[in-house]
């Protein structure tokens, strides 16, 4: 099982480079395959051992999956089959990563923290190598990707999503205790590496996520150094960053994307208000959004996904108020879990990562991004878990519950 997790982490840094187009608006990723294998063999072990590890927050996660399934079934009535299939595929991926978290929580070890850092290091290196080799990524627009020039798009071929992964990586590097001079030099090198890569994305949403990390660390640790250091770091970064005049994307004062997002928010809100209870159906947003083609019915390849930039507005538009309440409660519980365990490195990392991610998700639909779900699933799995053993000693199984020990 652990080998399959390491396989997942080994494939993680390659991002969209190891992805395959299965429908015009749907792709399958190598990390999805690795996660599926891990979940499959975990389920076999659960059936064989009759032993269920019920991780924390399993109930709200399964509740949201239930709401998402119901909304998809309700919204698919009378809709084109191709669009429903695409929506169902995204729902299947959401369920996959929920089970991925359950599986990893069954056997996770504290050393996985270091493995995530190694994974993030290779991710940052690949991003920087790609930036140096091909700073002009505008050719990718021919394959359905956004048009970027002199911005680090990274292995995910998108500066915003690459940026939030780099933020999550920097959080682990910053919070880890580097013991001894050699380790401290290594830690500083990794931070500088990750920060340079993050800076070159020119992603203001990711910058906001990084600021949220510094603020969360200050609140949790009551150490003003996080705020002072963060502010000084950003001032120096903005001063030193190159700003090629030919690239509008490197202009941090650009307003075009701001107005585009505001229009996107208004549109998503209108769609949600027309179907307030359960939304238009999970990932069936394109059927209700004006001026958009039906998912799966257009031969043009696109990587725009749900079409909603904000994760919580996406939830409201597609699963309604019911889904939004359940989903918000899930993230609230994750945030509280990290806060309650803030005296441990894994708990503090969870609290800071969740804070950064929630802020960034206002601008990009990152909460449903496969690499984000996988990373956060592993980080969440490192927290305290509850074990339920079902022993068929009589005609009916007797279940005993116990709290897992300290990782």
At residue 149, φ and ψ (nearest 5 deg) are -135, 120
- Closest C-alpha among 385, 389, 387, 407 to residue 397: 389
Report field, pTM of the whole predicted structure over 0.85: yes
Cβ-count burial of 402 within 10 angstroms (0-12 exposed, 13-18 middle, 19+ buried)? exposed
Cβ contacts of residue 333 below 8 Å, gap of 6+? Answer: 56, 57, 60
- Sorted by sequence, the CB contacts under 8 Å of residue 398 that are 6+ apart come out as 390, 391
Integer Cα distance of 68 and 405 in angstroms: 33
Per DSSP, the three-state class of 238 is: helix
First-to-last C-alpha distance (Å) of the chain: 18
Nearest-angstrom CA–CA distance, 114 and 307: 35
Q: How many residues does the chain have?
A: 407
CB 8 within 8 A of CB 284: no
Q: What is the pLDDT of residue 391?
A: 33
- As a dihedral over the C-alpha atoms of residue 55, residue 15, residue 159, residue 283, rounded to 10 degrees, the angle is -60
- Collapsing DSSP to helix, strand or coil, 375 comes out as helix
- Domain boundaries of the chain, sorted by first residue: 2-403
pLDDT at 196: 97
User: What is residue 5's predicted lDDT score, i.e. its pLDDT?
Assistant: 94
At residue 330, the pLDDT reads 96
Radius of gyration of the chain (CA): 21
pLDDT score recorded for residue 305:
45
Dihedrals phi, psi of 174, to nearest 5 degrees: -65, -40
Please calculate the CA angle 395-398-404 and round it to the nearest 5 degrees: 155
Helix, strand or coil, per DSSP, at residue 390: strand
Extract the residue ranges of the chain whose pLDDT is less than 70: 23-25, 110, 244-251, 253, 255, 290-306, 384-407
CA atoms of 305 and 12, how far apart (whole Å): 20
Question: What's the rounded Cα separation, in Å, for the pair 25 and 90?
Answer: 10
Q: Which residues contact 70 (CB under 8 A, 6 or more apart)?
A: 278
Contacts (Cβ under 8 Å, ≥6 apart) of 266: none
Question: Residue 378 and residue 101: Cα distance in Å, rounded?
Answer: 6
pLDDT value of position 27: 81
Between CA 261 and CA 270, with CA 267 as vertex, the angle to 5 degrees is 140
- Tell me if 296 sits within 8 A of 86, measured CB to CB: yes
For residue 317, which of 347, 275, 351, 349 has the smallest C-alpha distance? Answer: 275
Q: What is the structure's pLDDT at 286?
A: 79
> Please, are residues 137 and 180 in contact by the beta-carbon 8 Å criterion?
no
Tell me, what's the pLDDT at 402? 39
């Amino acid at each position: 099982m652990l080998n399959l997790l390491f396989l997942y982490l080994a494939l993680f840094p390659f991002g969209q480079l190891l992805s395959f187009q299965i429908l015009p608006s749907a792709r399958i990723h190598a990390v999805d395959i690795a996660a599926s294998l891990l979940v499959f063999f975990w389920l076999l072990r659960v059936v064989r051992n009759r032993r269920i590890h019920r991780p924390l927050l399993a109930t709200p996660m399964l509740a949201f999956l239930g709401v998402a399934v119901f909304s998809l079934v309700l919204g698919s009535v009378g809709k084109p089959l191709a669009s429903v299939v695409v929506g169902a595929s995204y729902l299947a991926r959401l369920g996959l990563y929920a089970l991925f978290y359950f599986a990893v929580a069954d056997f996770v070890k504290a050393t996985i923290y270091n493995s995530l850092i190694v994974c993030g290091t290779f991710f940052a290196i690949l991003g920087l190598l790609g930036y140096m080799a091909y700073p002009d990524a505008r050719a990718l627009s021919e394959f359905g990707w956004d048009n970027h020039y002199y911005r680090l798009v990274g292995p995910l071929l998108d500066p915003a999503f690459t940026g939030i992964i780099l933020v999550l990586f920097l959080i682990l590097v910053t919070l880890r205790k580097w013991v001894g001079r050699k380790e401290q030099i290594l830690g500083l090198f990794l931070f500088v590496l990750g920060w340079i890569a993050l800076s070159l994305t020119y992603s203001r949403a990711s910058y906001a996520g990084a600021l949220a990390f510094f603020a969360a660390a200050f609140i949790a640790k009551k150490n003003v150094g996080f705020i002072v250091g963060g502010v000084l770091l950003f001032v120096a970064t903005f001063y030193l960053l190159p700003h090629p005049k030919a690239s509008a994307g490197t202009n941090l004062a650009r307003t075009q994307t701001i107005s585009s997002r505001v229009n996107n928010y208004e549109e998503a809100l209108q769609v949600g208000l027309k179907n307030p209870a359960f939304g238009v159906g999970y990932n069936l947003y394109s059927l209700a959004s004006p001026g958009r083609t039906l998912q799966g019915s257009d031969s043009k390849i696109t990587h725009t996904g749900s079409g909603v930039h904000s994760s919580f507005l996406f939830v409201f538009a597609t699963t309604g108020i019911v889904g939004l309440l359940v989903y918000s409660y899930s993230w609230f519980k994750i945030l509280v879990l990290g806060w309650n365990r803030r005296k441990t490195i894994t708990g503090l990392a969870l609290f800071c990562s969740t804070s950064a991610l929630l802020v960034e998700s206002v601008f990009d639909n990152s909460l449903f991004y496969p690499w984000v779900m996988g990373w956060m699933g592993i980080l969440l799995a490192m927290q305290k878990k509850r074990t339920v053993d079902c022993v068929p000693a009589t005609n009916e199984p007797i279940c005993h519950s116990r709290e897992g020990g300290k990782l």
